[in-house]
Amino acid sequence: MSFLRIKTLLVASFSLLAVLCSTSVFANNLAVDSAVIADTNKANVEAVAVEEPKVEKKKEEGSFNVTETILEHIKDDHSWHLWGHTSIHLPVILKTSKGFEVFSSEKLVDEHHEPVVYKGNFDYKLIDGKTKIVDANGNLDKEASKQLWDISITKNVASLFVSVFILLVVLLSSAAAYKKTGIKTAPKGLQSFMEPIILFVRDEVAVPNIGAKKAGKYMPFLLTIFFLILTNNFLGLIPFFPGGANVSGNIAFTMTLAVCVFIVVNLSANKSYWEHIFWMPGMHWSMKLFLAPIELIGVFTKPISLMIRLFANITAGHILVLSLICLIFIFKTVFASAIAVPFAVFIGMIELLVAFLQAFIFTMLAAMYIGMATEEHHHEEAHGEAAHH
Amino acid sequence: MLLEINPLVLPDIGLVFWNTVAFLVLLIVLGKFAWKPILKAINDRESGIEEALLKADKMKSEITAMQNENEALLAKAREERATLIKEAKEASEKMVAEAKDKAKSEYDRILADAQVAINQQKNAALAEVKNQVGNLVVEVAEKVLRKELSNKADQESYIKQLADGVKLN
């Protein structure tokens, strides 16, 4: 248990470090899009306001814009950059009132990577990186855009598919190894690499939180979440194809997983769990009335915290590494790399740790929530306080 | 717009859609073809190891019990052997003693028989001798008497002598 506590502490401290570092980077370098952290700090906003004209001016001179560069790397994209001027143009899939439409994203940009109008069922144009319907003059048609569902294979989606492919290949082949060698022989190769991780999830995550009896039922869910996050975290750390996308640092990815956890937790919740939320046993009726809304909010804040934690940690890490690399371009001297590169390598090492820890923490908390929802209460008086924590 | 939402925290519906698809595919495919066999294999192996350990412990205790039993059997056998030897010794001693006794009694009996026979023979012989002697004496006496009692006077004196000898009391 103390080992677990140290681990949690490590995560917390690293997260704090990452967030703090990225805040200062934002204050110095980033303009309008200062991610989630900026709104917590008014000073940032002022700094941004002061710097904004300068940024504009720089851009006119054709110089390097750090904010745009970093955000471009963190945000989703319709093309996947390979090297130099070569990139894969991923398909755009749109669902409009006139049905589905598929075309290459190449048609949405000209040779200078500037957005152009593509005439399909409607006139489409990229506005702030998102496909929108525009009118004849090239202006945003808000009413028509509301009907537009963009389910394109973007860089993140493609990267997600890569991770799914990797997971399927790795895990199915190691499952086949068990079938081939049987249970009497020691695991070999890939199998021996996966088994300790699977055992770790079972013995450190699932069983202590859910209990040995019920853990088996939730193991596939927890393992899938753990490996999906882990693979995407690691893929995100690779700076070039097939990595380079920021899947696990994307709010849509973390939201989907958090919603899955929310659904599983609430579907598996037993009677006593709901009783503890709406009518806390062992309390005065007035306290019960007071606690019910708080506990009800807690039902939703748990998955939301999961969503934000993973998103913020991974995004902050990416911003940090990118900012360090951008130092070279800010100072416009190759000597800056003497400092920037070792720091980026150092942060990269930490990111490797964070990649694993965040996958662990997400799974751990998911298991904990499931454990709380399925817990059998035998001592009615003892747990009144425990339910709060 | 009053509240400008940062595009970073605005989820794209496309990624949400594909992510849901990918996650469900992973959950179903891996759940059926990876996690189930892997977890089953791991559990089987663990329970196998546990069973094997338990079995080994059981075997060990069984072997110890067997050894104890063997020792007890051995001790018993030894004891039995000792008693058997002792009994045999006793029996043989008894037999020897009995044989000795029997031999002695036989010897005694034969001796006694022999003595009896000797005595009988002796008696018989003596009786024979006595008879012979008696007969001889009678014959001699007859001859002597015949010769001496040929005259009446002598006869009468002798009877008288005899009659004197017999005292009627």
* Same domain flag for A102 and A130: yes
A26 falls within a domain: no
pLDDT 10s digits, A231-278 = 999 999 888 877 778 899 899 999 999 999 999 999 998 888 888 888
User: What CA–CA distance (Å, rounded) separates A170 from A179?
Assistant: 15
Distance of residue A220 Cα from the nearest chain B Cα, in angstroms = 5
Under the banding of pLDDT at 50, 70 and 90, the label for residue A27 is very low
In a domain, A1, yes or no: no
Best mutation target among B1, B3, B28, B30 (most A Cβ atoms within 10 Å) is: B30
CB contact under 8 A, B8 and A36: yes
Please tell me which of A44-48, A145-149, B86-90, B143-147 the model is most confident about, judged by mean pLDDT. B86-90
Which residues, in sequence order, are bridge partners of residue A87?
A81
B21: tokens are 């698809």
Whole-number Å distance between alpha carbons of B70 and A31: 90
Contact of A149 with A95, CB cutoff 8 Å: yes
pLDDT score recorded for residue A205: 92
Instruction: Considering only the beta carbons, identify the residue of B33, B35, B41 that sits closest to A183.
Output: B41
Predicted confidence at residue A41, as pLDDT, reads: 40
Query: Could you tell me if A164 and A89 are in contact, meaning their C-beta atoms sit under 8 angstroms apart?
Result: no
Residue A198: per-residue pLDDT:
92
Q: DSSP label at A386?
A: G
Please give the torsion angle defined by the CA atoms of residues B11, B13, B19 and B20, in that order, rounded to the nearest 10 degrees.
120
Under the banding of pLDDT at 50, 70 and 90, the label for residue A59 is very low
* Residue A32 lies inside a defined structural domain of this protein: no
Query: Are both A132 and A251 inside the same structural domain?
Result: no
Beta pairing partners, A88 = A80
> Under 8 Å CB-to-CB from B81, ≥6 apart: which residues?
none
> Which residue of chain A has the CA closest to B8?
A35
Contact (CB, 8 A) for A235 and A246: no
pTM: 0.71
Average pLDDT over residues A4-11: 55
| A36 has a pLDDT exceeding 50 | no
**Same-domain check for residues A290 and A323:** yes
| Residue A166 contacts B, CB cutoff 8 Å | no
Of A115-129, A258-272, B93-107, where does mean pLDDT reach its minimum? Answer: A115-129
**Who among B14, B26, B48 is closest to A228 (CB)?**
B26
Burial class (CB in 10 A: 0-12, 13-18, 19+), A279: middle
pLDDT of res. A254: 94
Higher per-residue pLDDT: A120 or A325? A325
Contacts 24+ apart (CB under 8 A), B123-130: none
Q: Is position A13 within any domain? A: no
Most confident of A34-43, A174-183, A288-297: A288-297
Which of B15, B42, B48 is opposite residue A195, by nearest beta carbon? B42
Question: What's the mean per-residue pLDDT of chain A?
Answer: 79
Confidence of residue A123 (pLDDT cuts 50, 70, 90): confident
Q: Which of residues 199-228 of A touch B (CB under 8 A)?
A: 199, 202, 216, 219-221, 223-224, 227-228
Q: List chain A residues with CB under 8 Å of B45.
A: 183-184
A162 shares a domain with A147: no
Q: Which of A8-12, A25-29, A151-155, B59-63 has the lowest mean pLDDT?
A: A25-29
Q: Does residue A347 share a domain with residue A206?
A: yes
Tell me the C-alpha to C-alpha distance, in Å, between residue A115 and each of A55, A107, A151.
Answer: 22, 9, 19
- Angle among Cα A305, A215, A374 to the nearest 5 degrees reads 60
Query: Alpha-carbon distance A313 to A305, whole Å?
Result: 12
B142: which DSSP letter? H
Task: Check: CB of residue A373 under 8 Å from CB of residue A273.
Answer: yes
Judge: A223–B35 Cβ closer than 8 Å, yes or no: yes
* Closest of A55, A128, A118, A54 to residue A92, by C-alpha: A118
Question: What average pLDDT score do residues A1-25 get?
Answer: 51
Contact residues, A window 316-355, toward B, CB-based 8 Å cutoff: none
In whole angstroms, what is the distance from residue A2 CA to residue A5 CA?
A: 5
Q: What digits encode the pLDDT tens for the residues B15-27?
A: 899 999 999 999 9
pLDDT at A255: 94
Cβ neighbours of residue A177 under 8 Å, at least 6 residues apart?
A187, A188, A189, A190, A191
**Where a domain ends, among A152, A167, A193?**
A152
Give the whole-angstrom CA distance, residue A89 versus residue A81. 9
Domain shared by A294 and A352, yes or no: yes
Instruction: Name the pLDDT band for A140 (thresholds 50, 70, 90).
Output: confident
Strand partners, A7: none
Does the pLDDT of residue A44 top 50, yes or no? no
Of A152, A172, A189, which residue constitutes the final position of a domain? Answer: A152
Same structural domain, A243 and A380? yes
Residue A195 falls inside a structural domain? yes
The whole-number pLDDT of residue A5 equals 57
Does the structure show a pLDDT above 90 at A104? no
Residues A358 and A341 in one domain: yes
Residue A187: inside a domain, yes or no? Answer: yes
The answer on A230 and A133 residing in a single domain is: no
Q: What is the pLDDT of residue A353?
A: 94
Predicted ipTM?
A: 0.77
Give the length of chain A. Answer: 389
Please state the domain count of chain A: 2
- Assess whether A140 and A281 both reside in one domain: no
Each residue's pLDDT tens digit, A349-377: 999 999 999 999 999 999 999 999 998 87
B41 and A178 in contact by Cβ < 8 A?
A: yes
Confidence of residue A187 (pLDDT cuts 50, 70, 90): confident
- Show which of A127, A152, A177 is a domain's final residue: A152
Domain that holds residue A290: 156-388
Q: Are residues A231 and A114 in the same domain?
A: no
Q: Which of B15, B45, B48 sits opposite A253 (nearest CB)?
A: B15
- Mark whether A226 and A343 lie in a shared domain: yes
Residue A375 resides in a domain: yes
Instruction: For residue A157, give the nearest of B8, B18, B27 by CB distance.
Output: B18
* Contact at CB, A224 and B30, closer than 8 angstroms: yes
What's residue A10's pLDDT? Answer: 54
- Would you say residue A62 lies in a domain? no
